[in-house]
């Protein structure tokens, strides 16, 4: 069999097509170890129930409804069979329209059908797949776009597993591959393309414009040159950039689509020699650039303390899974609202959980309760 190290796309079989039916059974005959999973009955039953929320169907009535829905198509031939080479499984699913209808049903009406149709036409690019993985998966789960473009050159390492939700089976596997596969397992119809070499000056134009411009760029990488080039290109093409730093829930929004003359990083780096960024080598030099971008005076106490230990007791700044998960939720929310033309403005925003959940707030509540007694 073909090597599957970096395979990210499943293979679809429509058994109503003679050629694909032949390929389907040939694959199974040639690879008897493939696990065949057929839960189409449950999916059809869900589809019928969701389309008839007022009805309480008996088992007999449900069978009748499913048979009527199938018409002349046999159950085996209905929908598609999707082969996942990396799982060695072939799975029977509803066709795209019905699959998306059932899978996203619980979004309604927090996302309306009209909004869902708009979002399905959108394309989101993500640079960096540590925090970016949480964002990409949340976007896919919520299905706030029809296509994702992912860029990262790195592989999964053991020290990533404090914050990247994956398993030891993926050690040494490209982050792009891990994320694209997970999305395909959630929703094989969601389009995903990958830049496994990462985002570079050479592929920057392609990343932003190939097969149609992306609608939002999510930049959550560590590389300073990459951060700068991403914003320069986004500004050139009039594409908004959003960033999350997973410290104090800091979210940065640059609406280059609405403000084409807006300086990158809100002008915070205008005093720096940006053109010399590639020559920056030492941690001290890097931190001076990063400080201009994120402003360490606004960082959490724990991050400030950690910065003094970089290059001494730790290699780089810490990141927690809870902060990364929060970033995935917040940026999905922000991107959805931008894509739906909601009033999200450029700026820097904080969702500081330490500030929100203060001890004195608890004490105040307790004291108020005692006073009431």
What gap in Å lies between CA 206 and CA 237, rounded to an integer?
12
For residues 299-337, b (16+ Cβ closer than 10 Å) or e, as one string?
bbeebeebbeebeeeeeebbbeeebbbbbbbbbbebbbe
Query: Phi and psi at residue 218, in whole multiples of 5°?
Result: -100, 115
Q: Are the beta carbons of 267 and 241 closer than 8 angstroms?
A: no
- Of residues 192, 196, 247, 197, the one with CA closest to residue 214: 192
- Distances from the Cα of 203 to the Cα of 198, 199, 207, 208, angstroms: 9, 7, 6, 9
- Distances from the Cα of 194 to the Cα of 115, 206, 279, 339, angstroms: 26, 11, 28, 22
What gap in Å lies between CA 35 and CA 91, rounded to an integer?
8
CB 119: neighbour CB atoms within 10 A? Answer: 23
Q: For every one of its 373 residues, what pLDDT tens digit does the chain have, with 9 covering 90 and above?
A: 445 678 999 999 999 999 999 999 999 999 999 999 999 999 999 999 999 999 999 999 999 999 999 999 999 999 999 999 999 999 999 999 999 999 999 999 999 999 999 999 999 999 999 889 999 999 999 999 999 999 999 999 999 999 999 999 999 999 999 999 999 999 999 999 999 999 999 999 999 999 999 999 999 998 888 999 999 999 999 999 999 998 999 999 999 999 999 999 999 988 877 777 776 666 677 777 888 888 888 899 999 888 888 888 988 888 999 999 999 999 999 999 999 999 899 999 999 998 888 866 666 555 555 555 5
CB 263: neighbour CB atoms within 10 A? Answer: 13
- In DSSP terms, 81 is beta-bridged to 13, 92
Residue whose entry in the numeric block shows the structure tokens 């724990």: 302
Instruction: Please list, in sequence order, all residues whose beta carbon lies within 8 angstroms of the beta carbon of residue 89, skipping any fewer than 6 positions away.
Output: 34, 35, 36, 37, 83
DSSP secondary structure letters along 216-278? EEEE--S-HHHHHHHHHHHHHHT--EEEE-SSTT-EEEE-TTT-TTPPGGGGTTTTS-GGGGG
pTM, entire model = 0.92
The full set of domains in the chain, from first to last, is 11-103 (no CATH), 107-356 (3.40.50.720)
């Amino acid at each position: 069999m073909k090597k599957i190290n970096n395979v990210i796309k499943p293979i679809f079989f429509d058994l109503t097509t003679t050629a694909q039916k032949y390929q389907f059974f040939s694959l199974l005959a040639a690879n008897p170890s493939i696990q065949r999973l057929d839960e189409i009955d449950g999916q059809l039953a869900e589809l019928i129930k969701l389309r008839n929320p007022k009805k309480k169907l008996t088992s007999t009535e449900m069978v009748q409804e499913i048979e009527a829905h199938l018409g002349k198509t046999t159950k085996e031939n209905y929908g598609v069979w999707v082969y996942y080479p990396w799982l060695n499984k072939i799975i029977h699913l509803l066709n795209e329209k019905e699959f998306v209808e059932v899978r996203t049903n619980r979004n309604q009406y927090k996302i309306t059908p009209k909004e869902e149709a708009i979002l399905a036409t959108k394309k989101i690019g993500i640079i960096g797949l540590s925090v970016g993985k949480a964002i990409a998966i949340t976007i896919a789960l919520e299905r706030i776009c029809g296509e994702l473009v992912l860029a990262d050159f790195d592989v999964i390492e053991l020290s990533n597993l404090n914050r990247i939700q994956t398993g030891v089976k993926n050690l040494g596997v490209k982050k792009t591959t891990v994320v694209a596969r997970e999305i395909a397992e959630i929703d094989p119809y969601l389009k995903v393309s990958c830049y496994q070499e990462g985002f570079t000056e050479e592929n920057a134009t392609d990343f932003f414009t190939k097969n149609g411009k992306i609608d939002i760029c999510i930049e959550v990488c560590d590389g300073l040159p990459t951060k700068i080039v991403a914003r320069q290109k986004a500004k050139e093409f009039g594409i908004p950039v959003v960033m999350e730093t997973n410290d104090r829930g800091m979210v940065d929004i640059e609406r280059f689509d609405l403000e084409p003359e807006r300086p990158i990083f809100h002008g915070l780096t205008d005093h720096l020699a940006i053109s010399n960024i590639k020559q920056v080598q030492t941690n001290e030099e890097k931190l001076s650039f990063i400080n201009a971008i994120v402003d360490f005076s606004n960082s959490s106490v724990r991050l400030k303390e950690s910065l003094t230990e970089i290059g001494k007791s730790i290699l780089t700044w810490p990141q927690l899974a809870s902060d990364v998960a929060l970033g995935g939720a917040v940026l999905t929310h922000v991107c959805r609202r931008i894509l739906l033309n909601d009033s999200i403005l450029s700026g820097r925003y904080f969702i500081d959980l330490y500030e929100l959940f203060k001890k004195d707030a608890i004490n105040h509540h307790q004291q108020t309760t005692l006073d009431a007694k």
